Amino acid sequence: MKCVYVYSGIACAVCLTHGEPTCPTWLTLTPRLGYLRSEKTYYAVCQELTSVPTNIPADAKEVVIEGNLISTLKANDFSHLDQCIELSLYASEVRVIEVGAFRGLVVLEILDLHENSIKHISAGTFSGLPALRKLSLWHNPLTALSWTIFGGLDKAGNMIHPTSLNLVLGNTDNKFHCDSSLCWLTQGEEEGWLSLSFGGPGCSNHPHPLMYNNHYTWKEIDFNCSTWGKSFHLHSGQALHGGLHVLGSQENGKKNSQGAGC
């Protein structure tokens, strides 16, 4: 048994019972477990963890949980980390993210979820992250990505989104089914609050024989996004118009003023 976790110079009861940890050969990581108090950085790298540690110091500004076996990020896993600026869950075999998993991360700026097994992201998963400026999702088997991941619409009928966000999808790493449901990416770029690294998602339903991975990138296909704001409908059946303002459905020639559901 080897206890290696140290907090403020005091050894804590977090022990490794499986011998010296190692990282998979394909990961260029070095096993680490501990809290570097001088930099307020918590490390749990290649520790074969199956869940998020419950003893991450509340004053941590950076949390690095990489190369583990965490299949599910549960609601409130990080709720006490209201000083955390950067969170990395790189290559930790994450498959499911419960809504509320990132609750409480009110100053989080960078969230790294790349190289996991995430197939679906629910509405509201990234809500309540007002400071978020970089979100990395590349190397995940995503096939769709809804604009509701940030929380849907506010009371005025405007799309809720970060003030300025760099979204990293990686156009050769995913298998998106590209259609007009992704037009919010174009709108976000046009409005200036969103930037897409690597040109946005790659499209599995539009093969390109000359490209790596045989996929067109999102920007190479015309989905008539210029009219999307006028024609797109939420699953609730209510229409959106330019800037994602709710118009409401029309019945018997009258507008329904009820707000859209998320």
In the chain, ranges of CATH 3.80.10.10 domains: 2-168
Superfamily of domain 2-168: Ribonuclease Inhibitor (3.80.10.10)
* Rounded Cα gap, residues 59 and 110, in angstroms: 17
User: Tokens standing for 172?
Assistant: 């050769």
pLDDT of residue 251: 36
Q: Note the helical H segments in 69-182.
A: none
- Quote the pTM value: 0.78
Residues 6+ apart with CB under 8 A from 111: 87, 102, 126, 129, 132, 134, 135, 136
pLDDT of residue 252: 37
pLDDT of residue 200: 73
pLDDT of residue 196: 87
Q: How many Cα neighbours within 13 Å face the side chain of 50?
A: 0
* Rounded Cα gap, residues 54 and 87, in angstroms: 15
- Give the residues across from 142 on adjacent strands: none
Ranges of beta strands (E only) in 79-150 are: 86-88, 96-97, 110-112, 134-136
User: Tokens standing for 206?
Assistant: 């539009």
Q: Note the helical H segments in 192-259.
A: 228-231
One digit per residue, the tens of pLDDT, for the chain of length 262 reads: 343 443 333 333 333 334 567 787 778 888 999 999 999 999 999 999 999 999 999 999 999 999 999 999 999 999 999 999 999 999 999 999 999 999 999 999 999 999 999 999 999 999 999 999 999 999 898 888 999 999 878 788 788 889 999 999 876 566 788 888 888 888 888 889 999 887 677 777 776 655 555 556 666 677 767 655 544 333 333 333 333 332 222 333 333 434 433 3
User: Tokens standing for 4?
Assistant: 């290696």
CB 140, CB 243: distance < 8 Å: no
* Rounded Cα gap, residues 21 and 141, in angstroms: 28
* Rounded Cα gap, residues 229 and 191, in angstroms: 13
* Rounded Cα gap, residues 207 and 214, in angstroms: 5
pLDDT of residue 12: 37
Other beta carbons within 10 angstroms of residue 250's beta carbon come to 10
